[in-house]
Structure 1
């Protein structure tokens, strides 16, 4: 399975990786210009079409390798995005203070930014409430009013 890398295999890998990344980015553009009526399944549709296109390309030439890798990149990107969208809605956010929580949040697609719990508590903001509440303003009482 593994072999000593040669110049030819290294160049082939560079072409495949570059084309795969380009295909992934191009697929974002394709998904973005699709009609809104396809919002529920457009990522899945692009994934399927890209897989069929990748299987239809003859990779025996450098150009064929590049085109096939671009279609594979499209399928991987949109397939991953589709699965991430499904998981984010069904799996709750984990505790980012633990390594396991950070790992699971990254895999699921939740944010992995660690918030400052002291600042959060001070501002009266919970992790599930995106509203920032300002601290109460100081009330100054004149000495004559204290009597």
Structure 2
């Protein structure tokens, strides 16, 4: 009963918020529907400089609104997606891209997951291998002394 009520509340909340997010994008005017789709695509791959974990489409910050207006202006002036992203990178750095290119500055970012996997595999191998501790071999005289000590410590039998 509780799960059904919670699910219906979440559905109502999502259906109320989703049109608000789309309304902001629909408020930008474009001559062709293709341009509007390009706007949506670009604003979802560009990161908000203030929010850091949100793209331009999802962010409500003032700078995100300014950047959405800038993207709209650049699309309406006939610039390609590549030109627009290069403009944004020149102005805000590669941080603005959610999918940064592979270069010297981002090499650690791209190679770190592979390095962590290799370190994990090495740790599993290193700590997972069995160490074979073989006892030292006794000389015949040491073996005789050991047998004598064991025989001396045997309790007498009750026959």
So what's the TM-score if we normalise by structure 1? 0.24
Pair member with larger Rg: 2
Greater relative contact order (CA < 8 Å, ≥ 6 in sequence): 1
